[in-house]
């Protein structure tokens, strides 16, 4: 308990200090790297996050498809602050930044800062059609992945009692929007469930009737990766009988029927939105430092027009000669920017004017498509697929996963799933509720 006299008169109660206060919004990949690297500096560090945990988003799709428990891809943020002096965490969603007062506002009160790092990531992009796709299921946060898992299982439970042909078809069909890495990985995981797991659980159903559709607006999958990777991923998904619809957009969705730009209509009560993300801007900073829903930053991650406000990771738009459109929204970019900014913040508080510009080390790109298959584009231009790519994919994901316990749990699950073909987490723990999901979605917007 902090003694009353040591608490400042601000709504979020943080002990008084003579040190400069650094407030970090978001404990994602970028925020976490800052938390780790700034320990023992002459700073008070306050981390604000709307969740009390860090999420390893690259494995969210495995939670959604019953491959992993949510706890194995998350880490409690307070744990990362243990034994760090003058580190504080508050569970709070920042709703406004007030640069003139140097404070941030949250539903539990305001908090002042000397330095502010915005590391609040991105949110699902419905390309301005949020209302039209209110019944689509996004896959950006753990609660959303759990929604998807429950929803699919609930649909199969309904399907066994359904005689109406259209209703039955709509309960079985799964439509995935977006043929990027997430869409491809989700489609592969459902292909595997359909082939190996669901027929054993639901012998009453004819899984030949179940169709998985992957809808992509461009002429190929995995835009941003090599042609080889795109071609291989296409073939792997075809082997799972995934229906790949290229050059096709999803026009509308009423919860039961998906209407495509080709005029075709697909009966489906499951529309998974993996069509992309956009910056998660917090109101308050002037419009001229925002472009395409990201904060414009210089090569030191300093937000345009401010020397005490920084943005890192998905929310930062850093245009350089080599990357005139900015860096891709990827975990390695966020981690490396967090790392570089931590060094620069140390330099600033130690009175040095010499800051290091951010230099990105490309670690390559990868996506997995069910068991034994993945595609990898190496930084040197080499591309490969198949089993070796799949083992590389597993190794990299285990390496980056937060915490030794999580690595062990995930590895155990993968080994078990591999040898038994049994994704053991087909549990409806918290039934999916459409109304509840809409509320969550509105909260994210």
Question: Residues 136, 253: contact at Cβ < 8 Å?
Answer: yes
Question: Residues 214, 179: contact at Cβ < 8 Å?
Answer: yes
How far is Cα of residue 227 from the mean position of the Cα atoms in its chain? 25
In the complex, the smallest distance separating the C-beta of residue 431 from ligand FAD, rounded to whole angstroms, is 23
Question: Residues 349, 355: contact at Cβ < 8 Å?
Answer: no
**Nearest C-alpha neighbor of 341 from the set 302, 289, 387, 382:** 302
Phi, psi of 181, deg, nearest 5: -55, -40
Task: Out of 12, 25, 68, 176, name the contact with ligand FAD by CB under 6 A.
Answer: 25
Site for ligand FAD contains 182 (CB under 6 A): yes
Whichever of 43 and 64 has its CB closer to ligand FAD, that residue is 64
For residues 238 to 277, the per-residue mask of contacts with ligand FAD, x marking binding by CB under 6 A and - elsewhere, is ----------------------------------------
Catalytic residue among 69, 185, 192, 216: 185
Distance CA(92)–CA(82), nearest Å, equals 19
Site for ligand FAD contains 26 (CB under 6 A): yes
Site for ligand FAD contains 48 (CB under 6 A): yes
In the complex, the smallest distance separating the C-beta of residue 294 from ligand FAD, rounded to whole angstroms, is 10
Handedness of CA 432, 438, 439, 445 (dihedral sign): positive
Q: Which stretch binds ligand FAD (CB under 6 A): 44-52, 318-326, 404-412, 425-433?
A: 44-52
Distance CA(395)–CA(401), nearest Å, equals 10
Task: Out of 45, 46, 50, 144, name the contact with ligand FAD by CB under 6 A.
Answer: 50
Can 185 be counted among the known catalytic residues?
yes
Task: Out of 51, 231, 256, 259, name the contact with ligand FAD by CB under 6 A.
Answer: 51
Q: Which stretch binds ligand FAD (CB under 6 A): 218-226, 308-316, 319-327, 375-383?
A: 308-316
Site for ligand FAD contains 120 (CB under 6 A): yes
Question: Residues 49, 76: contact at Cβ < 8 Å?
Answer: no
Task: Out of 181, 183, 191, 279, name the contact with ligand FAD by CB under 6 A.
Answer: 181
Distance CA(111)–CA(98), nearest Å, equals 10
Task: Out of 205, 245, 334, 345, name the contact with ligand FAD by CB under 6 A.
Answer: 334
**Nearest C-alpha neighbor of 86 from the set 34, 27, 31, 46:** 46
DSSP string over 273-319? E-S-EEE-PPTTS-GGGEETTEEEB-TT-BBTT-SSEEE-GGGEE--
Locate the DSSP E strands across 31-149. 44-49, 53-55, 74-76, 87-91, 96-98, 103-106, 109-112, 115-118, 122-124, 137-138
Whichever of 49 and 216 has its CB closer to ligand FAD, that residue is 49
Size of the site for ligand FAD (CB under 6 A): 34
**Nearest C-alpha neighbor of 218 from the set 179, 174, 252, 265:** 179
Site for ligand FAD contains 280 (CB under 6 A): yes
Question: Residues 86, 17: contact at Cβ < 8 Å?
Answer: yes
In the complex, the smallest distance separating the C-beta of residue 17 from ligand FAD, rounded to whole angstroms, is 22
In the complex, the smallest distance separating the C-beta of residue 328 from ligand FAD, rounded to whole angstroms, is 8
For residues 136 to 175, the per-residue mask of contacts with ligand FAD, x marking binding by CB under 6 A and - elsewhere, is ---xx-----------------------------------
Task: Out of 12, 14, 60, 205, name the contact with ligand FAD by CB under 6 A.
Answer: 60
Three-class secondary structure of residue 377 per DSSP: strand
Residues found near ligand FAD in the complex (CB under 6 A): 25-31, 48-51, 57-58, 60-61, 93-94, 119-121, 139-140, 181-182, 280, 282, 313-315, 329-332, 334
**Which residues are annotated as catalytic?**
185
């Amino acid at each position: 308990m902090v003694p009353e006299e040591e608490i400042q008169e601000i709504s979020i109660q943080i002990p008084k200090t003579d040190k400069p206060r650094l407030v970090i919004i978001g404990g994602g990949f970028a925020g976490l790297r800052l938390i780790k690297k700034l320990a023992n500096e002459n700073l008070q560090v306050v981390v604000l996050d709307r969740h009390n945990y860090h999420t390893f988003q690259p494995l969210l799709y495995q939670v959604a498809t019953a491959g992993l428990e949510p706890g194995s891809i998350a880490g409690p943020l307070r744990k990362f602050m243990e034994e760090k002096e003058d580190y504080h965490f508050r569970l709070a969603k920042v709703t406004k930044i007030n640069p003139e007062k140097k404070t941030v506002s949250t539903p539990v009160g305001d908090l002042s800062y000397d330095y502010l790092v915005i590391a609040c990531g991105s949110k699902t992009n419905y390309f301005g059609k949020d209302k039209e796709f209110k019944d689509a299921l996004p896959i950006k946060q753990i609660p959303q992945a759990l929604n998807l898992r429950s929803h699919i299982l609930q649909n199969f439970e309904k399907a066994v009692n359904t005689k109406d042909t259209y209703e039955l078809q709509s309960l079985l069909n799964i439509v995935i929007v977006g043929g990027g890495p997430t869409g491809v990985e989700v489609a592969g995981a459902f292909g595997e469930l359909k082939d190996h797991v669901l027929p054993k659980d639901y012998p009453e159903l004819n899984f030949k009737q179940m169709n998985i559709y992957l809808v992509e607006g461009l002429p190929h999958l995995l835009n941003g990766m090599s042609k080889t990777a795109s071609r291989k991923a296409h073939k792997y998904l075809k082997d799972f009988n995934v229906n790949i619809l290229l050059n096709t957009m999803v026009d509308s969705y009423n919860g039961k029927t998906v209407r495509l730009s080709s005029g075709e209509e697909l009966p489906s009560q499951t529309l998974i939105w993996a069509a992309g993300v956009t910056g998660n801007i917090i109101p308050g900073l002037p419009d001229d430092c925002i472009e395409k829903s990201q904060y414009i930053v210089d090569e030191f991650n300093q937000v345009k027009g401010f020397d005490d406000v920084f943005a890192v990771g998905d929310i930062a738009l850093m245009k350089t000669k080599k990357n005139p459109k900015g860096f891709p929204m990827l975990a390695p970019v966020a981690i490396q920017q967090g790392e570089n900014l931590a060094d620069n913040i140390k330099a600033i508080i130690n009175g040095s004017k010499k800051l290091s510009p951010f230099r990105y080390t490309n670690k390559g790109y990868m996506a997995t498509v069910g068991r034994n298959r993945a595609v990898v584009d190496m930084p040197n231009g080499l591309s490969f697929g198949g089993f070796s790519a799949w083992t590389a994919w597993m190794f990299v994901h285990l390496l980056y996963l937060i915490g030794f316990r999580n690595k062990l749990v995930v590895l155990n699950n993968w080994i078990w799933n591999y040898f038994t073909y049994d994704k053991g987490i087909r549990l409806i723990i918290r039934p999916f509720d459409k109304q509840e999901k809409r509320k969550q979605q509105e909260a994210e917007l």
